[in-house]
Amino acid sequence: MPPTTSRPVRRQATAAPSGKTASSRPQLAVTRDGQPPTGELIGRRNLPLLLLQARERVLARFRPLINENGLTEQQWRIVRALLETGPLEPRDIVALCGISSPSLAGVLARMEEIGLVTRERLEHDQRRVHVRLTARARAIALRMAPAIGRIYDELEAQVGAQRLAAMYAALDELITLAGPVDERSDPP
């Protein structure tokens, strides 16, 4: 008897007389052991996984350029955020860049060490710090800008300008409507 696996096996949808499938919803798949896959038991597509897959496909276009310029993906996210917003406090970088506080402390220390950022205490509250880009970080971003522009142009040509604009709008709306992330909560 062959070993059972939990890999889903899709059932074929039956065709209605019109030539369309009888249901717009795909038929329930079963695993080889006869059980429905967990995702179908939940009844929803896995949005976090889809967003991660989309992120990876987009980031894969930029990763070689980021690496060629001696940056990590986290460092680039911070550089890009600071370019767009100006100086930020670490807690704002955490929220904007999706980097945990413990990780951010190490990333910022390394970035300061290699001359990409400076950290300055606020005059009115010495407990608080602003993180700023250095001239070196700005020069790296300026050097990367033409290639980044070409990557965005290629993505727009492949996906379509209208669809890409709709994706930006949908993601902005999702971020707004979903509300702030509570760092204290564990991910699902």
Spatial distance between the Cα atoms of 144 and 130, rounded to a whole number of angstroms: 25
Contact yes or no for 112/134 (Cβ under 8 A) = no
Contact yes or no for 4/32 (Cβ under 8 A) = yes
Residue 129: CB partners within 8 Å, gap ≥ 6? 89, 90, 119, 120, 121, 122
Contact yes or no for 11/30 (Cβ under 8 A) = yes
* pLDDT tens-digit series, residues 92-125: 999 999 999 999 999 999 999 999 999 999 888 8
At residue 8 the predicted structure's pLDDT band, cuts being 50, 70 and 90, is very low
Residue 14 predicted with pLDDT over 50: no
Helices (H) and strands (E) in the chain, counts: 7, 4
The DSSP bridge pattern shows strands 117-122 and 30-31 to be unpaired
Q: Which single residue is written with the structure tokens 């220390």?
A: 109
Spatial distance between the Cα atoms of 10 and 120, rounded to a whole number of angstroms: 57
Mean of per-residue pLDDT scores for the chain:
84
* pLDDT tens-digit series, residues 64-85: 999 999 999 999 999 999 999 9
Give the pLDDT confidence score for residue 42 in this predicted structure.
77
Q: What is the rounded radius of gyration, in angstroms, for the C-alpha atoms of the chain?
A: 23
How would you class 111 by CB atoms within 10 Å of its CB: exposed for 0-12, middle for 13-18, buried for 19 or more?
buried
Helix, strand, coil tally for the chain in percent (to 5):
55, 10, 35
- Kindly report the pTM of this predicted structure: 0.73
Residue 13 predicted with pLDDT over 50: no
Residue 42: CB partners within 8 Å, gap ≥ 6? none
Domains along the chain?
58-142 (1.10.10.10)
C-alpha angle 98-173-49 in degrees, rounded to nearest 5:
50
